[in-house]
A and B are shown apart, each in its own frame.
Chain A
Amino acid sequence: MPILDWINGEYIPHLLDGFLNPQKRVSLLYLSIAAALAIIWSVYVSRGSVRKGFLIARDKLFSQRVWFSHSARGDYKLLLANHALLLLIAPLLLSKLTATTALFFFFIDIFPSGAAVLSSTSPLLVAITYTIFLFLLDDFSRFATHFALHRVPALWAFHKIHHSAETLSPLTVYRTHPLEAVIFSFRAIVVQSSAISIFVFLFGSSVDLVSIYGVNAILFLFNVTGSNLRHSHIPIGYGRLAEHFLISPAQHQIHHSLDPNHYDRNFGAALAIWDWIAGSLCKSRTDMVLKFGLTDRENLQSQKLLHFYFSPFRELFDRGRNDPFYRNRNHRNLTKNAV
């Protein structure tokens, strides 16, 4: 059976790789670190009472309410189905190598005397520059993409699926519409191919990445400092000053919050500076009580896969039919009604 072969030979190994490979955000390594951080935080907010801390952590991170909720089961369906879908369409997407080579020769053509101009720079300096540049470009492009997903109504129709999660667990990171996944992979191609082609063009040879366990060192720090808790009910904040620079788990929870004051805040992935500059930054408070999800009625109800996949298309179609001159200036009113 070719399907069984494919499941055994491709699907399952890829799926497992997602949990074992430290290049993936939900690898067991990062998940266990996140769990430890959650427990430490819980003990801290219980003013040092270990017993009380464990109870809080159990309630917020390890309970059935989190992992077997209606919403969580929706996450799993999307995770499993998207995984298959993306494996199948991957060969159709533009290859990163093709894009990188094309860009590289484009630079050579438009700026021929610039090739390898910096080739005598010390390799260590080049590696550090490249690592930082790549991180900044990657993080900014995540911010910009996310910003567009919220502000462009046609895109919000798809990103809404992610925001329809009512309970958050680290696996909510995979609650994604496949069309978004295509956008995300295009983003990755643009970022990686431009960073690599620019550096190879300027420095004349391949450039080292400062890495830990084969991962961009900065990204590694981001992942071990609890990136997995951004999708959770553990509201770790970094304090008012640091939250201008780094997005804390609590700040991302604000991004998912139903409170109208929190709409379209904190688009950033690792860095908060982009939100700070764009005026969309919202710092966390220790006394906040957040509810997650959408108020849109249909989204409240269905966690069915078909609904996830097709409702954005139906929504776009209906909008177009009802109001061909539809211009959304304030999409939040249409989609997230204030409670």
Chain B
Amino acid sequence: MNKRLIASAFIIVAPAIATPASAGDAVYGKFPVTLKSWMGNETNSVAYTGQIARQVLHDSLKKLAGKGNGKPNAALQAEMMLYFEGKGKNRKILAPTSKGPFVIKQKTVGEISNPNLAGKTYKGTVSGMPNNMTGPELIKFWIGKAASANKGVDMANGYNYPQLISKFILGAVFYHQAVDNYLDEKMTAGNKPNNKPYKKGKHYTGKEHSWDEAFGYFGFPAHGLMLSPSQLYDIAKRKPTAVSIADANSDGKIDLYNEMVFGPAYYAAGSDKSKKTAYAKTIGKAFLDGRKLIASADGNALNSSQLGQIAQYARVIEENWEKTLAEATFKYAGSCFKDLQAIKANPSDAKVLAKYVKHWGELKGFSLAMQTGRKNLGDTATRLNRLIGFGPVMPNSSQVIDIDSGGNYVKDQASGINEYMGHMLKVQKLIVDKYGIKARKNDQLAGMSDMLKKLGSGSAAEND
């Protein structure tokens, strides 16, 4: 690692970490093998290759979803399904790929691991879409639609499938698996104990590996705690300037396994760039501290106080992760509002409409992602789903209200763009009220508080 990087990393991380004895201390890199029954000569118990491979499958699937030419395309659909529920070591990494000096080490998914997405997708019903589909059913439905849409976008109904599929998976696979599985039941006393291997023949314990898997779903580089939000952001964007920041082992290549930033961490960093939040750092630090705690048990079962502490770290991760999804939903509700304003000013501008459909896909995807966590969002979910609807309200006021048994969209006249703009504002208010988010990008209500500030406080005691 180059010296400048270490030095700058120290400046950034030093205040955030309680006892940074060295930069290595802030890296989710190497933890000793503590499993007492293990006789092999492995020295590192950390492993989360399956999770990173799924990040890559997600990125590649998103890319494929935008490849359609507007006509039914069975081959494309089959290829998407290969990335969603298939297996196969030779699946090429379609994204992220090398970009200029940002050279990526792996070319195939199999070089990392060989899992699928479907098996780990939220199995509950998705109440924000018609027909009570489960998570995997909804993604398969969208894959089918994407295959026959032009560049993955259905401009008549207002669906941008790459966005819908991608944003939903950020919740339904990554967030869901981390907070509702690995950080939840797998962190209880009776499950995946720390004095036994995770699986027969593995050199890491049940708790070590469960924790690592959750970490892998966050998509955070091992040295991520030493990086600023904009550095994390630049890595995800594969910027030339980010090469030296990402390439922690200075081998000239970015290792997707532990040097790359993926979706969940990218959105956390996106909020953090506002300097009003520190989601990525908070989540990354809770993961690291939790892992240190598990390592300190030295291969013994965790006692109740250790389990209690682990549960606390897990709650910090969950709470902050949930907020990153809420921030994104908030942000895209604001984008849709602005797009609708532009559409009203210029109804025939196809570019503006395409932007709206894209932003709506992100809004819908993230709002559904929020509903795949450990908790049932109850009334909040109902209200979010009603406000956003099954599809965007289009310039001619039409909106998808159902999907028939043949998988065709059923449309109706909605009460108009203006009312839907009001819905977007209500989404923003609902999210602020329920989640107290702070970054609040594209805040359409902030204008009112600015206007109030302009009027000043006056003096109430002035008499006429």
Binding site for B on A (CB under 8 A): 18, 21, 23-25, 79, 82-83, 86, 96-97, 100-101, 104-105, 108, 112-117, 119-120, 134, 142, 146, 159, 162, 172-176, 178, 180-182, 184-185, 188, 192, 196-197, 200, 204-207, 209, 211, 214-216, 252, 267-269
Contacts and interface: CB of A to CB of B under 8 A. Distances in A.
B422 A112 contact: yes
A147 to B, nearest CB: 10
Contacts of B156: none
Contacts of A204: 341, 421
Name which of B449, B452, B460 has the most chain A CB atoms within 10 A of its CB.
Answer: B460
Contact of A116 (B418, B426, B448, B449): B418
Nearest to B444: A205
Given A116-B341, A214-B456, A181 B461 contact: yes
A159 B425 CA distance: 42
Contacts of B447: 200, 205-207
Interface string B405-443: 000000000011011011001100100000000000000
A97 B448 contact: yes
A6 to B, nearest CB: 18
Given A105-B426, A116-B344, A120-B345, A174 B455 contact: no
Contact of A112 (B340, B415, B449, B455): B415
Nearest to B416: A113
A309 to B, nearest CB: 13
Contact of A113 (B341, B418, B446, B464): B418
Contact of B454 (A113, A181, A214, A252): A214
A176 B449 contact: no
Contact of B452 (A97, A115, A120, A185): A97
Given A101-B448, A216-B455, A176 B419 contact: no
Contacts of A182: 460
9 contacts: A24-B458, A83-B461, A97-B448, A112-B416, A142-B464, A174-B461, A184-B462, A204-B421, A207-B451
A108 B422 contact: yes
A55 to B, nearest CB: 30
A146 B464 CA distance: 7
Contacts of B404: none
A100 B452 contact: yes
Interface residues of B, number: 33
Contacts of B460: 86, 181-182, 184-185, 188
A116 B426 CA distance: 14
Contacts of B396: none
Contacts, number: 122
B454 A176 contact: no
| Max chain A Cβ within 10 angstroms of own Cβ: one of B418, B421, B452, B459 | B459
A200 B425 CA distance: 12
Contacts of A105: 425-426, 429
Given A113-B419, A192-B455, A197 B463 contact: no
B450 interface: yes
Given A116-B344, A119-B345, A200 B422 contact: no
A193 B446 CA distance: 14
B74 interface: no
Contacts of B461: 79, 82-83, 86, 174, 176, 178, 180-181, 184
Given A105-B426, A120-B345, A176-B463, A197 B448 contact: yes
Contacts of A96: 452
A174 B462 CA distance: 5
A206 B451 contact: yes
A215 B454 CA distance: 8
Contacts of B340: 116
B454 A162 contact: no
A173 B464 CA distance: 7
B444 A112 contact: no
Contacts of B429: 101, 105
Please provide the 5 A-B residue pairs with the shortest distance between their CB atoms, ordered closest to farther: A206-B447, A185-B460, A23-B456, A112-B419, A108-B422
B377 interface: no
A284 to B, nearest CB: 17
A117 B456 CA distance: 28
Contact of A173 (B344, B456, B462): B462
A209 B451 contact: yes
Nearest to B449: A97
B7 interface: no
Q: Which of A196, A205, A214, A215 has the most CB of B within 10 A?
A: A196
Given A108-B425, A112-B415, A204-B421, A120 B344 contact: yes
B462 A176 contact: yes
Nearest to B446: A206
A142 B460 CA distance: 12
A165 B458 CA distance: 23
Contact of B448 (A134, A175, A196): A196
Contacts of A176: 461-463
A292 B416 CA distance: 60
B262 to A, nearest CB: 35
A142 B461 CA distance: 13
B456 A196 contact: no
B445 interface: yes
A96 B460 CA distance: 13
A174 B415 CA distance: 51
Contacts of A108: 422, 425-426
Contact of A200 (B451, B454, B458, B464): B451
Contacts of A114: 418
